[in-house]
Amino acid sequence: MKNSNVYFITGGMGFIGFHLCKSLLTNPDNKVIVFDLQQNLFPTDIKNWKYYQNYRKELLKNDRFILITANCNDTDILQKTLETYQPGNIIHLAALSVALLSDLYPNDSHRNIFGTIFTLLNVLKNVSFEIERLIYFSSSMVYGHFARDINDNIISASEEQICNPVDIYGAMKLGGEIMVKTYHHRYGIPYTVIRPSAVYGPTDCNKRVTEIFLLNALNKEPLTLDNGGLHKVDFTYVDDLVKGTILALHSPEACNQTFNLSCGEGRSIKELAEIISELIPGTKITTNQTKPYRPNRGTLNISKAKEILGFNPQYNLEKGIEKYLKFVKEHQNKIVQLKSC
């Protein structure tokens, strides 16, 4: 018998994982098991990271929440944990969280992005129980440069666009997708692949551009736009991503499918800076001539998720940043006080 209300989440103490756990626990029938190393592996603000780790743990305290501190590449512990709880649904989030880190630390990228999903799949093929679904979190970076029309305008990327990543992060994520689909064909493991884009929101401490710009503006530091901030991405508020993920978990039609889950609206980094400057008067915006090495992206086509899942994102960039800013303001003083101790 499948344990439909038991959810196993790798990397569940991370930014997206925390919000997903919090949402799943609102259902009193659900039990959530998190498998997370809980280490700050790469350069960031360590006290900021510790603060939000403690904050997440406090909010997730629940008799139906179990935290296992372990490495997702530890086959023995992983298999023992899965056999103990026999979850019906598995969500794989454990990975490097920011694309740039993969270029800086390629060996760690291989181990923490591709290695973790490969280890998980090898364990799943041998467990004594059946699962309902494996959710694999991929990335919009798998597309590489978005396709263009005859007038050289960027076309919104649908799931059918050929994936041709141009960075290590995207390549590792695509490799994970291929392995997930291969293990489905070879061993019958049911899956859903999710491709999010530029996720932002409360408790993020991974130095994404949204976090950096908000903190800079609050600290009266300028927001610097590389090459004028013309680069476009599909910013996605974390609550929308979580809702879409849960829809995918519960939809039979989502089994063995791939979905873009984003706002569905490409916005420039310049627009992000201008929105923040309106919310925080006095914010200075500067530009430089540095051309960021990123894929030329824009809007993700989310029509498939809308049609099959009933996905309906609620946060455009203006609404999402306003809510995110409110949260950051509430916690900034607490973090500052923590740093001064």
CATH classification of the domain holding 36:
3.40.50.720
Contact between 247 and 182 (Cβ < 8 Å) = no
Q: Apex CA 101: angle with CA 95 and CA 105, to 5°? A: 95
Q: What is the pLDDT of residue 154?
A: 86
Q: Give the helix ranges, DSSP H, for the chain.
A: 15-24, 46-60, 75-85, 99-104, 106-109, 115-124, 168-187, 209-218, 238-250, 269-279, 303-309, 317-340
Mean pLDDT of 206-224: 94
CA distances for 15 relative to 49, 145, 259, 299, angstroms: 10, 26, 20, 23
Q: Contact 295/233 with Cβ under 8 angstroms?
A: no
Q: For the residues 258-266, what does the mean pLDDT come to? A: 98
3-state SS class at 334: helix
Provide the 8-state DSSP code for 112.
I
CA distances from 6 to 88, 222, 251 (A): 6, 46, 16
Could you read off the pLDDT of 218-231 as tens digits, one per residue? 999 999 999 899 98
Containing domain of residue 174, as a range? Answer: 6-204+234-264+299-314
Provide mean pLDDT across the span 264-270: 96
Q: Work out how many domains the chain is built from and give that number.
A: 1
| Residue 276 resides in a domain | no
pLDDT in tens, 296-311: 889 999 999 999 999 9
pLDDT at 271: 98
Region at 256 (left for phi over 0; alpha for psi -120 to 50; beta for the rest): left
Count of CA atoms in the C-beta half-sphere (13 A) of 270: 9
- Please state, in angstroms and rounded to a whole number, the distance separating the CA atoms of residues 277 and 201: 18
Q: Which of 50-54, 117-121, 256-260 has the lowest mean pLDDT?
A: 50-54
**pLDDT score of 100 more than 90:** no
Q: Indicate whether 240 belongs to any domain.
A: yes
Strand partners, 261: 196
pLDDT in tens, 124-181: 999 999 999 999 999 999 999 998 888 878 889 999 999 999 999 999 999 999 999 9
Residues 143, 163 contacting (CB under 8 angstroms): yes
C-alpha closest to that of 72 among 122, 22, 27: 122
Please tell me the predicted confidence (pLDDT) of residue 17: 97
Kindly compute the dihedral angle of the four CA atoms of residues 95, 97, 99, 104, in this order, to the nearest 10 degrees. -80
Query: CB under 8 Å to 188, separation ≥6 — which residues?
Result: none
Residue 341 scores a pLDDT above 60: no
Do the domain assignments include residue 81? yes
- Residue 215 covered by a domain: no
pLDDT above 60 (res 191): yes
What distance, in Å, lies between the first and last C-alpha atoms of the chain? 52
Whether 175 is covered by a domain: the verdict is yes
User: Does the residue 48 lie in any domain?
Assistant: yes
CA 24 vs CA 9, 61, 76: distances in Å:
11, 13, 27
| Residue 273 amino acid letter | A
Strands 65-69 and 199-200: unpaired
**Other beta carbons within 10 Å of 341:** 5
CA distance 143 to 165: 5
Residue indicated by tokens 């309106």:
278
The yes-or-no verdict on residue 292 having pLDDT over 80 is no
Q: Is residue 62 a part of any domain in this protein?
A: yes
Within a domain: 224: no
Asked if 195 and 258 touch (Cβ cutoff 8 Å), the reply is: yes
- What is the token pair recorded at 286? 């500067």
